[in-house]
Amino acid sequence: MKHPARETLNLTLRLALVSLTLMFAAMSPAAAQTPEETALSSQLAALVRFSDMPTGSRIALAPPPPMDSALPMAQVEAIMSRVAQLMVADWPAKPRILAGSADLRSTLALVRGRQGQEAWTQAISTTLRQEAEFVLVGETGIGAGSATLRLTLVALSDGRVLAKTSDVPVSTQGTAMAATPRGGITQAVAQLQQSVPQARDQITIGAFVNERSGFETPLGQALSDITIEAWFSSAQSITAMIQDARAPRVLRGAAPPQGFYLSGTIRLIDADRFQLVLRLSDGPDLLATRTLDLSALQLAPHLRAGLDPRFEQGQSGFEPLLGLIQGIGPARMELQTLGGREDHYPICKTSDFNRLLTACPDSLIQLSVTTDRPGQVMCFSIDDAGSLSVIVPNAYTAAPWVLGGQNLLMPDDLPPLPDGTRMYWPAMGPASQTLVACLLFEGSAVPLADAMTALEGPPLSAALAYQLMGTIRDSAPLASSGQVVKVQD
């Protein structure tokens, strides 16, 4: 998300900035000065002297295009306007502060992409109404799980950078400005169909991928489902009023060589808020975009858990998977981990099977499973580094069956090993917080167990962890339960 620093602006950027439609930006005297505005204006004021700007100068504000902004556009524009006013508040000859239209800049970029540089230059000459000597450029990003704003003041005459602030964390002010996923998507789909009415009849909805990893997560799949429903419903409401109109077709899949295609990119902001960028195209031509600020508060537990920005970077271990395990399946399952010493399981230091009971009595883990329906059980563990291990079924034991209301104690209730000895599950390390989870299946648990066994070994990457979550969900277990245990020396 962070943009590389530039000490000068190239010709393309300068043209894009002066192509903005400009208008006077007045800051309400009653507007409260926020901490981020104080930090940004102080940095700019310390770097820029009023003598650098001749009397009568004009400063244009250039917020990022909506699809590139990690913050709501109304919030970015308001912050930039107030910061600019604060920066020049004590100057004898105050420059005029002009606000720029980010929407127009996006439109001009679309013209350039579809019709080329000459058409873009012509669009600039016909839409430009005022000029400015200086421009304050806003760039947003994500840092430490928070949205940030950086401002750069540039002289348009020669591209000199007069001042550049650091990346200042900006409060998202809760989620009051964020829509619900279904409400926001429904409104955006209606706007897209109004902008490109010919796309109503047939469209392909593609993958909704994570911006950083490029992988479609369970959240992306859920948002794609909502978009398909919204597109069909909105299109049908229009075609129903047209005599002999054919029913709209909404397909799911990869982008066709020709034809309308809608894709989505998910940008994580924090555990309560994210952005969805929708892009509508026809073959190679981008026709329209919409950037939605959405609240995560109404998402299912496993979808919301996946919004942890640390997990996006493969750093948070099992939290999203735990959210999935706690919220999947129509039946009920209760899992308890037994044994251990006080609040943890000591790491067993012996590899001698015959010495387990004497050398590592507190390291032996037992699982107690109770369900309200009969079915086959599989259990696995994943530590906070992402290392996965299938507990049962395994090379020696098939997946056990449990009756509704019956307690299954493992490994005590499992068949003995081929040589007749009892099975034990010692905590062998490394030290970690480890999720132990069990799933109940009406049919066989073996297909999921085989798929998960293939992922054993090195810690899972973020993409494989998301893949695991999708695999578990698609296996449609009747019930699930998980518990976190501590393994330590």
Q: How do the domains of the chain map onto residue ranges?
A: 11-169, 181-299, 305-488
CA distance 489 to 429: 8
Q: Which CATH architecture has domain 305-488?
A: Sandwich (2.60)
The average pLDDT across 363-391 equals 92
> Model pTM?
0.49
- Write down the pLDDT at residue 471: 84
The average pLDDT across 247-267 equals 90
Give the range among 78-92, 111-125, 144-158, 412-426 with minimum mean pLDDT. Answer: 111-125
Mean pLDDT of the chain: 77
For the record, the structure tokens of 470 come out as 């999708």
Q: Taking 90 as the threshold, does the pLDDT of residue 119 lie above it?
A: no
Between 391 and 273, residue with greater pLDDT: 391
Residue 371: pLDDT band by 50, 70, 90 thresholds? very high
Q: pLDDT tens, 201-238?
A: 899 999 898 777 667 777 888 899 999 999 999 888 87
Between 33 and 248, residue with greater pLDDT: 248
Between 231 and 419, residue with greater pLDDT: 231
Give the range among 176-180, 252-256, 313-317, 387-391 with minimum mean pLDDT. Answer: 313-317
Q: Taking 50 as the threshold, does the pLDDT of residue 24 lie above it?
A: no
CA distance 3 to 147: 13
Residues of the chain with pLDDT > 90: what percent? 21
The average pLDDT across 412-432 equals 87
CA neighbor of 264 nearest in space, from 322, 219, 318: 219
Q: Which CATH architecture has domain 181-299?
A: 3-Layer(aba) Sandwich (3.40)
Give the range among 133-137, 302-306, 346-350, 429-433 with minimum mean pLDDT. Answer: 302-306
Residue 15: pLDDT band by 50, 70, 90 thresholds? very low
Give the range among 144-158, 312-326, 363-377 with minimum mean pLDDT. Answer: 312-326
Residue 109: pLDDT band by 50, 70, 90 thresholds? low
Give the range among 45-59, 202-216, 354-368 with minimum mean pLDDT. Answer: 45-59
Residue 79: pLDDT band by 50, 70, 90 thresholds? confident
CA distance 126 to 60: 18
